[in-house]
Amino acid sequence: MRHAEEVTFGGSALDRAAHLRGDPAGLARLWADTGARVLPLWRGKPLFHGDTLGWLEAGHRLVAGRRDGAVFLGLEGEAARFAVDLSDWEPARMPDTPGGFSDLSEQRHPDLPDTHVFAELRRLMTLLGARDAELAATARAILGWHQSHAFCSRCGAKSQLSMAGWQSTCPACGGHHFPRTDPVAIMLITDGNSVLVGRSPGWPEGMYSLLAGFVEPGETLEAAVRREVFEEAGIRVGAVGYLASQPWPFPSSLMFGCRGVALNREIAIDPAEIEDAFWITREEMVSVFAGGHDRMRPPRKGAIAGFLLWNWLADRLD
């Protein structure tokens, strides 16, 4: 797919400079450089300054003492980009326990201007340019891995981070652990001029998407597409092809966008998997994107499902 890397979080060609992760002295020099910038995250929320990321100088008092725990994200030209976790900060007023589909709350740190807020990346991701989007997704995914994998999965001992945040090592058994990425197949299944959409229980009213599911151990992408579509909607799938991928750091998935051709049209949903599914034509999808469909609201901006549907509608899946 020629437009594959136009998807949110894709296509910025970040220089991750992985060879520097094992060079503590070199990283210390990069941190001390005047061009170094640090992205703080609070409980998974990056710092925003308007419609851009809220990068801080490495010497800023909010991050200056956190170099040892910083994640090295890569290089912007000759200057380093890092991320640090500020989850130990307790705001004067904590956000209400999230009860909706997305977190609309914002947090302001007293050491920063009021124009700087910690906000949910999923809500503001489409505001960012390609480079900042990739950096934010990387930072959120790696820091999320730190929080969920603080202990050795072999023996249970507390692990120690190394390689600029990209590896953890167990001091008890010597086990090495690396960031986790979960493969997910998301499927654009067509029958002639129609595409299959579905919704999960608990989604906002009118929200539908492409069917999706985790790829299981020992399974190909093609097999996962066929299995998931049949399990969720009772549709058999023939030919399967790859379209595009999207890092999805909520918390640690890689979405593999695939297309497939349906072999039958009769839908039989599994209520344990999804709440509803239906076929929608290209003509109807025009009204969906225009916000005028009586059953389906426009796809969420930034997610690969909407990206694939838009390109299908525009006949740009080649």
Q: What is the pLDDT of residues 72-128, one digit of tens each?
A: 999 999 999 999 999 999 998 776 655 456 788 999 999 999 999 999 999 999 999
| Mean pLDDT value across the chain | 95
Q: Can you say how many angstroms the Cα of residue 129 is from the centroid of all Cα atoms in its chain?
A: 15
* pLDDT (average), residues 203-225: 97
C-alpha to C-alpha distance for 71 and 83, rounded to whole angstroms: 5
Considering only CA atoms, which of 67, 13, 14 is closest in space to residue 38? 67
Phi, psi of 198 (to 5 degrees): -150, 175
Q: Please tell me the least confidently modeled range out of 93-107, 204-218, 291-305.
A: 93-107
Q: Per the structure block, which two tokens stand in for 113? A: 């201007």
Q: What average pLDDT score do residues 157-182 get?
A: 96
What sections of the chain are H helices per DSSP? 24-32, 121-124, 130-148, 221-233, 282-289, 304-313
> Half-sphere exposure of residue 303, counting CA atoms within 13 Å on the CB side?
17
pLDDT of residue 103: 87
- Cβ atoms 241, 202 nearer than 8 A: no
| Average pLDDT score over residue span 246-275 | 97
Task: Give me the pLDDT at residue 94, please.
Answer: 73
- DSSP three-state, residue 126: helix
Give the whole-angstrom CA distance, residue 243 versus residue 4. Answer: 7
Asked whether the beta carbons of 196 and 262 are under 8 A apart, the reply is yes
Quote the pLDDT of residue 239.
97
* SS3 call for 254: strand
Which phi and psi (to 5°) does residue 55 adopt?
-65, 140
First-residue to last-residue Cα distance in the chain = 5
For range 244-259, the mean pLDDT: 97
Residue 98: predicted pLDDT: 52
Identity at 257, one-letter amino acid code: G
What percent of the chain is modeled with pLDDT above 70? 98
CA 85, 87, 179 angle in degrees (round to 5)?
A: 50
> Element (H or E) spanning 45, and its range?
strand 45-49
What is residue 8's predicted lDDT score, i.e. its pLDDT? 97
DSSP 94: P
- Tell me what the mean pLDDT of segment 151-177 comes to: 96
Q: Which residues is 214 bridged to in the sheet?
A: 184
Which H or E run contains 200?
none
Phi-psi region for residue 174, left (φ > 0), alpha (ψ -120 to 50) or beta? left
For strand 56-57 and strand 276-281, is the pairing parallel, antiparallel, or unpaired? unpaired
SS3 90: coil
Is residue 62 within 8 Å of residue 112, measured between CB atoms? yes
pLDDT in tens, 172-206: 999 999 999 999 999 999 999 999 999 999 999 99
pLDDT mean over 26-47:
97
- For the chain, give the percent of residues with pLDDT over 90: 94
Check residue 153 and give its pLDDT.
94
Quick check: 229 and 211 in contact, CB under 8 A? yes
Residue 69: pLDDT band (50, 70, 90) is: very high
CA–CA gap between residue 46 and residue 36 (Å, rounded) = 17
The arithmetic mean of pLDDT across residues 42-56, rounded, is 97
pLDDT value of position 95: 65
116 CA to centre of own chain: 22
CA distance 256 to 245: 5
pLDDT recorded at residue 102: 77
Q: What is the mean pLDDT of residues 268-292?
A: 97
Per-residue pLDDT, 101? 66
Q: How far apart are CA 227 and CA 213, in angstroms?
A: 9
CB atoms within 10 A of CB 306: 18
